[in-house]
Amino acid sequence: MMRRAVKLLGACAAAAVLALAAPGAAQAARGVLIIDGARYGDPAGCYGLGDFVPSRVVNGTDTTAWVWSGAQCDGEVVQAILSGQGAVAHGRSLFIE
């Protein structure tokens, strides 16, 4: 009985976290993200970076851009590019919301 209650509580907690995260995921950053000269207005989501050469990123948005070691915004976060900053991104993908 106790084990069942713990599982139910865990499931409820996970659902609450997802419900709170969902509204934020739908919003895009405001501004322009530039990756190797390509401009993305009000970007949101995962963007691929160069496979063999580090990409030049200019974060002209109102939020932080996160550089990931994996090609699909997976693996580990290797770098943060703050709002208003430019950097050479040493990773395979970039996530911004």
Domain of residue 59 covers 28-96
The pLDDT tens digits of the residues spanning 42-84 come to 999 999 998 889 999 999 999 999 999 999 999 999 999 999 9
Q: Residue 55 contacts by C-beta under 8 Å, 6 or more apart in sequence?
A: 35, 36, 49, 88, 89, 94
Q: What is the DSSP string of 41-90?
A: ES--EEEE--SSSPEEEEEEESS-EEEESSTTS-S-EEEEE-TT-EEEE-
The pLDDT tens digits of the residues spanning 8-35 come to 334 444 444 444 444 444 578 999 999 9
Residue 29 is classified by DSSP as: P
Q: Is residue 55 part of a domain?
A: yes
Q: Is residue 3 part of a domain?
A: no
What CATH number should be reported for the domain holding residue 47? 2.60.20.30
* Reported pTM: 0.72
Q: Is residue 17 part of a domain?
A: no
* Residue 33, beta-bridge partner list: 40, 59
Q: Is residue 57 part of a domain?
A: yes
As for how many domains the chain has, the answer is 1
Q: Is residue 39 part of a domain?
A: yes
